[in-house]
Structure formats: structure tokens, C-alpha cells
Chains A and B, each alone.
Chain A
Amino acid sequence: MLITGAGIISSIGLNYKENAASLLSQVSGIGKMTGLDSFYRDQLPVAEVRATNDELREMAMLKPGSAYSRTTLLGLIAAREALDDAGIENISESSTGLVSASTVGGMDRTEKFFRKFMKDNSHGRLKDVVTHDMGDSTEKIARTFGISDYITTISTACSSSANAILLGARLIENGIVDRVLAGGVDALTLFTINGFNSLLILDKNGCKPFDNERNGLTLGEGSAFLVLEAERVVKMTGRKTRGEVIGYGNACDAFHQTASSPEGNGAFLSMSKALEKARFSAGDIDYINAHGTGTKNNDLSEGKAVERLFAGKVPPYSSTKAFTGHTLGAAGAVEAVFSLMAIENQCIWPNLRFGNKMTELESEPVSVLKTGIPITNVLSNSFGFGGNNTSLIFSKC
């Protein structure tokens, strides 16, 4: 499945170019919370997209005051960039699907509504709550770009948009559509900040993935989309390609609703399935863009699974979540774009904030930017609550 376009907006940049520049200059997007009126404003750092809703509306080419959730605004911006990048002017020239993903949808507006509604259920502006469900942002993106041949939305917690890319590839392989805009989006909300905080897994100093003294994750926000196209369509149009989705694997850890198994069974399985689908052996992987959230549990479980699967020959790996925070439903797609950027720039993104090797692991992540490295195949992991694990393999064409 060929990738002909990519779009991204995150705390380290409002578009593809800015994100790549931040990765190359090793600048993290984690900082003080400014966009949300939270009790934890001064205590918990987050990775915010550096634009107000008004600014995002302008970037999304919407009228001022349009009742769009921040989620939809971020999604529209990344989706438009991906379609432009692919050079698609007439969407209906090929049958096109949209597979989006999110974990909390339009929760940012729901929160405004609910605060009033809970005191009196005749209160709260309805236009703040009709954008609540996951389908809302997907349908607004579909309407904006005239996509109608296949539309759906996936929510498997933190692997949501990795599953969107997996489904996009399969929809094309199954001949349901020739082209899919696949990705995901999540905005920062009080709901997720308080949710992860109630689980005591937010690091007050910003996440340190794979560090021995890591102390939790940092929440981020953003969106990324890829344009996937069938090979024969790309041949016909002569479009440039950014790479291809060559392998994918979805497995369930089935261990605990929020914790990963200590030996990383689900992670091992999703990575194994992805290798199998790509007809690769472990030695074919040049770089792993790890899920690496920075929680005690995830990094141990993922590290163990990687060391077991790549026994003795662990490829260079890093988590880019110290750049962008954990963008939840968008993470799989954001990191898919970072994987493509690693191929494009022939480099390995550094695992920022890494200090000390984990005592339980033999290996440690790449902690400084490595350039001039031949990168052909990148494995990208996304693991979610409920044990929903998905691994994707991106390759140079």
C-alpha cells in the first residue's frame, strides 16, 4: 500500500515541515499548560499544539465562530495537508475512503456543555454537545473534502489511529476503495488529563521514555493523516510516494484493562504479525519507533517484548513521545509520519530526556539524533488500554 501524502499537526509543529524541523533540531513540545482551565495547570506539563481555536479555525479555512471541536479543527488541518501533499485536486477521480480515529472525540466542547448541564439539564448550549461523538469530526472532514465512498471511525484507546492505518490498507487490499485518507486526532481535555492523573501515571516533570527513573507519561494533542493508495492507481497518476505500509499486526494483550503484561505478550504478537505480513525477518527492521509512553509498565513490557522478538539483535529504537507527549488516538498516525520522516531524512529520532538505562533491559534507546543511517524499514508500535496493540511497518519505496 503506497503512501502518497502525509499531514501532521502537533506540539512540535503546525505542519509536516515544522514537525520535521523540530525533530531534527531536537526541540520538545512539552511545556506549561496554557489552553485548559485545569486545577493542574501549574503542576502537570503537557504538549499543546501552539495555536488557539481561533487560529486553528483560520488555518482550517473556517468562518470565525464555527462550532467545531478542537479535535475536528486539528483533524481538518492535518487531513488537508495530507491531501495537498498527495496532490489530489479532484477527490472523486478515485473511490476514496476516510478512516479516522479518536479516543475522546469532541470532549473539549462537551466539557463546556456538561458543566452547565449537570446543574440543570435544560442548560448548556446544544451546539457544544452535538460534536461529542467520535463520528462528528470524521464526518466534518469527509464533508469538507467530499469523501463519501467509505467512512468510519476507530477507537481502541492509544492504538486507535494505528488501527485506522491498518484498516485503510486492508480496505484497499480488499478492493473496497482505491484510496484511503487514514489517521487520527485527539485534543487535550480535562477528561483525559484527569483520567490519566487519577491513574497516577502522569509525570510532573515531563515523560522520560525508557529511562530507569521514568515516572509516567505526558499528554499531548495533535492529528496526522496519511493518503494510502493502491499501487495501480499510483502508477496511473504517476504520483510521488513517501513510502509504503508493508506490514501490520493487531493483537490483544488480554492481561489487564489498563496494564500491559510484564513480558509484553500482546506487543510481541502484534510485532510478530507485522513482520509476518511484511514477510520480513527481525533483521530487516532498521529502526523501531516505540510506543514508549514513559510509564513504568509500558516501557518495561514493550522493552521486554522487543528484546524477546529481536533476540540479541535489537534494532535501534526510540520513543518520540518526549517530543510530542502522548497524543492518544492520534499517536499511531503521528508516529507513522515520524517513521516516514526517518526514512526521508535517513536518520533515527532521539529519545529525548533519556538518562539511565533500565535495569530490567539489556538495551537502551537511541538518545541522540543519528543522521546518515540507511533506513529502509521502520516498525512503529502503538499499544492501548484494553491491551489493544497494533504494530505497523513502513518502508522506503
Chain B
Amino acid sequence: MKAFINGQSVISPQNTFTEERFPDVPVSYTGIRSLRCIEPQYSEFIDPMAARRMSRIIKMGVCSAMKCLRNAGIKNPDAIITGTGLGCIEDTTRFLASIYNNNEQLLNPTPFIQSTHNTVGASIALILKCNNYNNTYVHRGFSFESALTDALMLLGEGEADNILVGGLDEMTPELFAITDRLGFWKKEPVDNLSLKNYTGNGTIGGEGTAFFILSRNKNEKTTACIRSVNTFFNPAGIEEVESKLSKILAGDDETFIKPDLVLLGLNGDAGGDEIYENLNKSIFKDIPSAYYKHLCGEYDTSVSFAMALAAGIIRGQRVPGILSLKGSVTGAINKILIYNHLRNINHSAIVVTSC
């Protein structure tokens, strides 16, 4: 089943929400260890009374969902599916702290209510009064990909014409402190736009929300198509990654069909980037490649940011310089492979094409 991307809206550390000069003039951050989203004016998209009760991730998620629907001209989607690695971690932390700070007594229930991973998907349904299919995936680096797979299946099952699909994750000071101790991040502050030039282990933190309308039919708003979504867990080595990716890119006669561009999850972490570098020398040899995590940072659902970029590249028929990693595209850009791995455990590959 292929799905037409008929709308999108992204909140990220870049000017993706307003699309003002993005991605041609990227926002650069100097001396940072984690990127934070540029938050929009919410009042145009969320009732201020309601927004006051929402945490940052709920506001960002709901706001990008509302704008996505507006962009696509869809009032009530046939399904709402979200993916999030850690859900509403700020409210989770807040409620946990209140348990200990108040010796379990007289607790405010709001952070508990809003701590559930389905809060954003449910809030969108509540605002839209949308009674349709609603699901939330919460599996590390497979969260957004699982939501996409579900959407593709629903479209194929004839259960839906237009589906709202989103990926969302937030960074909080507590999460950064914990993951820093786990060695996820570079110890020295970096300049985000030069991320790939730093050596050593670790990357930069990130966050974002990205929503899409995936449809069964093409219309005047269609930017690109999703052809396939694949995830693979804990591969034994680079050979297994190569063989899985080769299969994904194979045509009907099983010969390898080169994509016009590969968009990689390279993040400046020496250990993890070795996988991308090896692929660039093997099956991706002679294929121009691009990357994106210097713009949004690392988080479980960063592939949703990459998918928005891929759709933009296909619509605009050019690879913005800031994304370029290796080689340059000379002809038309009709097929992009997004390949990402999260700490070499959760690998995913999405094929986005022109329609």
C-alpha cells in the first residue's frame, strides 16, 4: 500500500512551523548539548484556556496536529495515530516528584492524567470530537515507524481515507541529566551545524513533534508518497543491515534499484556513525547522501522530522545544502530512502517517492 502525504506540520528546533526560510537558512546554535524546539504562538491553534493546562509536549503535539489538518484541508481524520518514545515525560517526572515531596498525600491529579503516553493522540481526538480509530505506539526508535505501519495497513484495509499520523518527543532537564549519565551526549558543548565534524562518542539531544496527513488518494496538496516502512531489531552486524536494506530497495525482479538520495540518521556519535559510513562505502556507494540530526538533535521519533524533510525535498526537487553529506544529486529526485538507527538496536528504513 502506498500512502500520499497530503499535509504536514513540524515543530522543531528549526523554523519548521512557520517554514520561514527553512531549510535554506537553518537556525544555528552554538555551544549547546541539546536542542530545544522553537515554540509557536499557540493561540491560533489551541484554545488558550485549554493550553494553560497542557504541558509543553501536549501543546506542541496538538498544535502541529491542528496545523497539519489545516494545511491538508481535513476537518476530521479517519484515524489518529501517534508514536512517542517517552511520552509526556515532563508530567511523568512532575507527578513522581509530587509523590515523594508530599508523602503521597493530597496530590494534584493533572500531571498524572497527562502523563499517559496517549495524551496527545487523545487530546487531538477530544478537540476534534473525533470518534475514529485512535492508537499510540511507544517503542523506542520504532515508535513513529509503528504508527506509520499501522496507518499504511489501515489505508490498505479500506478503513480510512485520511489518517493523522505524528511522532513526538520532548527533552526535559531531568531526562537530559539521566541520559547524560548514560553517555548519550557529547561531553563538550558543540555547534549544531558542525555536528558531523566532531569526533568521539555521543551526540546532541533533541526533540520535536511532526504530524502528517496520509491519504489513500492523491490531491493538489500531495507532496510525496510513502512506499514502504520497515523496522529491524538488533541486527547481528553490518552484513545483516546491508542485506535488509538491499531487500527493501530491491525491485520486483530482486535487483537493487538505487534511490536518488539516502537521508541518514548520522548524529556525530563515532560508534553509531560507523554504520552509516560503512553503508556509504558499500550499498550506498555512488548514491548521494544527506543527514538531518544536526538540525533537530537525537530523539526516539526523529525520523518523523526526516520524513517531513524528505517530502519537502521531493516537492522542491532539490537537496538543501545544509542537509548534504556526500555527493550531489544531478537528475530528478523521485526516490529517497530514510535510514536511521537508534543506538544500533532499532533500525528503520522508509522509502519516500514522488507520486
Contact = CB atoms under 8 A, between A and B. Distances in A.
Interface of A: 38-40, 102-103, 110-111, 114-115, 117-118, 121-122, 126, 129-130, 133-135, 138-139, 142-143, 148, 150-157, 163, 167, 170-171, 173-174, 176, 190-191, 194-195, 197-199, 250-258, 265-266, 269, 384-388
A265 B117 CA distance: 22
Contact of B85 (A133, A163, A174, A256): A133
Given A151-B231, A176-B149, A388-B118, 20 more contacts: A102-B138, A118-B100, A126-B182, A130-B182, A133-B138, A150-B231, A151-B233, A153-B137, A155-B138, A156-B136, A174-B156, A194-B107, A251-B132, A252-B122, A252-B125, A252-B130, A252-B131, A269-B131, A386-B125, A386-B134
Given A176-B149, A252-B130, A253-B131, A156 B178 contact: no
B112 A157 contact: no
Contact of B135 (A121, A151, A156): A156
Nearest to B147: A152
Contacts of B146: 152-153
Which of A134, A167, A176, A199 lies at the interface centre, i.e. has the most chain B CB atoms within 10 A of its CB?
A134
A199 B113 contact: yes
B126 interface: yes
B126 A257 contact: yes
B150 interface: yes
A152 B97 CA distance: 29
B197 interface: no
Contacts of B130: 252, 254
A257 B119 contact: yes
A174 B233 contact: no
Interface string B98-135: 01100111011100111111110111011011111111
B102 to A, nearest CB: 9
B87 interface: yes
B253 to A, nearest CB: 20
Nearest to B128: A254
29 contacts: A39-B103, A40-B104, A121-B178, A126-B178, A126-B181, A130-B182, A133-B86, A134-B138, A135-B142, A139-B234, A148-B234, A151-B231, A152-B139, A153-B137, A155-B87, A155-B116, A156-B121, A167-B135, A170-B157, A191-B96, A194-B112, A195-B115, A252-B80, A254-B130, A257-B113, A385-B122, A386-B116, A388-B122, A388-B135
The 4 A-B residue pairs with the shortest CB-CB distance in the complex, in nearest-first order: A386-B122, A195-B112, A135-B140, A155-B117
Contacts of A269: 131
Contacts of B121: 156, 386, 388
A195 B96 CA distance: 10
B138 A387 contact: no
B181 to A, nearest CB: 6
A198 B107 contact: yes
A39 B125 contact: no
B283 interface: no
B286 interface: no
A143 B236 CA distance: 12
B232 interface: yes
B100 A114 contact: yes
B202 to A, nearest CB: 15
Contacts of B86: 133
B177 interface: yes
A386 B118 contact: yes
A254 B96 contact: no
Contact of B133 (A194, A251, A384): A251
Contact of B177 (A121, A155, A195): A121
Given A152-B137, A153-B138, A103 B116 contact: yes
A38 B107 CA distance: 14
A118 B97 contact: yes
B345 interface: yes
Nearest to B127: A254
A259 B205 CA distance: 36
Interface in B233-258: 233-234
Contacts of A115: 100
Which of A103, A153, A173 lies at the interface centre, i.e. has the most chain B CB atoms within 10 A of its CB?
A153
B325 interface: no
B72 to A, nearest CB: 19
B131 A194 contact: no
Nearest to A38: B104
Which of A135, A139, A256 lies at the interface centre, i.e. has the most chain B CB atoms within 10 A of its CB?
A135
B274 interface: no
Which of A103, A142, A151, A198 lies at the interface centre, i.e. has the most chain B CB atoms within 10 A of its CB?
A198
A118 B182 CA distance: 17
B78 to A, nearest CB: 12
A253 to B, nearest CB: 7
B116 to A, nearest CB: 5
Nearest to A143: B234
